C-alpha cells in the first residue's frame, strides 16, 4: 500500500529517499562498468603494444632515452643540417 506524501516534510523525505537510491544504484553501476571498461582498455593497449615497433619511431616523436647534453648542444649549434652528418 502506498502513502501519498502531503506535508512538505514528507515530500522532502521521499525526494531524499529516491535521491539516495539513485546514488547507490549509480555506485553499483560504476563499480561494475569500471571492471568491464578496464578489461576492454587493457586489451586494446596490449594489442597496440604488440603492434608498435619502438626502434623505428618517427623523427617528430619524443626520444625514448634522454639525450646527453653534448648531443643536444651539437644539434642546436649546427646551422647546416645537410652539410655534415651528425647524430641529430
Tell whether the model's pLDDT for residue 17 goes beyond 90.
Answer: yes
Q: What is the pLDDT of residue 1?
A: 74
Q: pLDDT tens across 43-57, in order?
A: 887 887 777 666 666
pLDDT at residue 34, rounded to an integer: 84
The structure's pTM equals: 0.42
Q: How far is CA 88 from CA 12, 49, 64, 71, 80, in A?
A: 70, 27, 14, 7, 12
pLDDT tens-digit series, residues 54-74:
666 667 776 666 555 555 556
pLDDT mean across residues, the chain:
76
The residue extents of the domains of the chain are 8-77
Amino acid at each position: 500500500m502506498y502513502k501519498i506524501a502531503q506535508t512538505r516534510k514528507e515530500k522532502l523525505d521521499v525526494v531524499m529517499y529516491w535521491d539516495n537510491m539513485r546514488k547507490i544504484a549509480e555506485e553499483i553501476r560504476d563499480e561494475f562498468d569500471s571492471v568491464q571498461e578496464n578489461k576492454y582498455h587493457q586489451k586494446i593497449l596490449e594489442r597496440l603494444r604488440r603492434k608498435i615497433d619502438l626502434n623505428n619511431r618517427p623523427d617528430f616523436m619524443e626520444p625514448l632515452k634522454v639525450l646527453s647534453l653534448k648531443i643536444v648542444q651539437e644539434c642546436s649549434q649546427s646551422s647546416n643540417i645537410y652539410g655534415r652528418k651528425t647524430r641529430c
